[in-house]
Amino acid sequence: MKGFWKKPLQAGTVIGVVLLLAACGISPGNDQAAQQGNLQVVVTTTFIGDVVDNIAGDKVDIIELLTPGQNPHSYQPSPMDMVAVSEADLILVNGFGLEEFLDELLEGTDTSAEVIAVSEGIDALVGEHHHDDEDHDEHDGEDHDDHDGEDHDDHDGEDHDDHDGEDHDDHDGEDHMEGAMGLDPHVWFDPNNVQVWAENIANALAEADPVHNEYYQENLQKYQEQLMELDGWIRDQVDLIPADQRELVTDHSSLGYFADEYGLVQIGAVIPALTTEAETSGMELAELIDTIREHQAGAIFIGVDFDPNLAQRVADETDVELVPLYFGSLSDGEPAGTYLAFMRFNVSSIVEALR
């Protein structure tokens, strides 16, 4: 069961609201769920919430901190979020620095819940993936040296000790320095990574609720089959794009995992950074315009909730179209209300624009 927290209150009222709700015996969870003994699972993103929903069904009560359309890079916890976290049995996060707010959020509550990064075990891409023209022409193994084992030593088990019980008590800044080092958190753009999520989530649920382990594992298998089917469909769709047109220009550097897995290249971004909260310069926009003209790119892919002004200036200069995609969250209902629908919508839009 999934729920969203609306955010009408300011952060300054957090402590008062938490104390007031606690005094009144008000819980952010579903009353019926609490009576049934369901796990209270707090997740940071709508993507994680959807995967949990597919695996857990009605066995857990899911609270999603980031509502549809909300930018994870600019999110600020609300008082109700603090209440939800304080009462959670389990907290599931993306990791790789996406949740820059996490340390402050955890420190502001008395939660004893285990915090699990569902991206554990995924090899993170590094930096902006904004390569020069020679790199684009080759697409060989050398272009992706950052995917070999040596480059990803920082993702072995030792580096993820910060997810065990002892480290959760500290929640210090070092736990989330990966984001500052430029690891790309947008792992959900590759359904093979979401398969890793699904397995991590099923295992976390089973550990917290062993009575329903068999149920979780059965649902995991069904969902992973759907993800494998999605992966095959994406490959068939990308094959429809001429090889010399498989180049992506986006609002920010967010499609690295998609491009890396399916043979496309990010050649530029309006904001050449991993977050929409970064700034760009006139020189960078001029370079992007030159890149689009040189590569004869067909479109600029922008988030549906992204301010289009800068992208529109570039589009006007280069005579290319702006194509809306969903980046940081699912939609509230159609057309991208589930992860599977999200990927099908985005891939269909990309293929249609580049064919």
Tens of pLDDT, residue by residue over 11-65, are: 333 444 444 444 444 344 434 334 457 999 999 999 999 999 999 999 999 999 9
| pLDDT confidence tier of residue 2, bands split at 50, 70 and 90 | low
What is the DSSP annotation of 205-227?
A: HHHH-GGGHHHHHHHHHHHHHHH
Answer for the pair 249, 46: CB distance below 8 angstroms, yes or no.
no
DSSP codes joined into one string, 105-117: HHHTS---PEEEE
- Taking the C-alpha atoms of residue 270 and residue 255, their distance in angstroms, rounded to an integer, is 13
Q: pLDDT at residue 7 above 90?
A: no
Those residues with Cβ within 8 angstroms of residue 4's Cβ, 6 or more apart along the chain or in another chain: 64, 67, 68
- Residue ranges and CATH numbers for the domains of the chain are 2-230 (3.40.50.1980), 240-354 (3.40.50.1980)
Query: Smallest Cα–Cα separation from 58: which of 191, 207, 209?
Result: 209
Over residues 62-112, the pLDDT tens digits come to 999 999 988 777 788 889 999 999 999 999 999 999 998 898 889 889 899
Q: Dihedral through CA 235, CA 240, CA 245, CA 249, nearest 10?
A: -60
DSSP lists the bridge partners of residue 299 as 321
Measured CA to CA, the distance from residue 56 to residue 186 in angstroms comes to 23
Confidence of residue 173 (pLDDT cuts 50, 70, 90): very low
**Per-residue model confidence (pLDDT) at position 327:** 94
Contact 312, 322 (CB under 8 A): yes
For the cut 90, the answer to whether the pLDDT of residue 265 exceeds it is yes
pTM over 0.85: no
Give just the sign of the alpha carbon dihedral 187, 192, 196, 201.
positive
Whether residue 332 is predicted with pLDDT greater than 90 in this model: the reply is yes
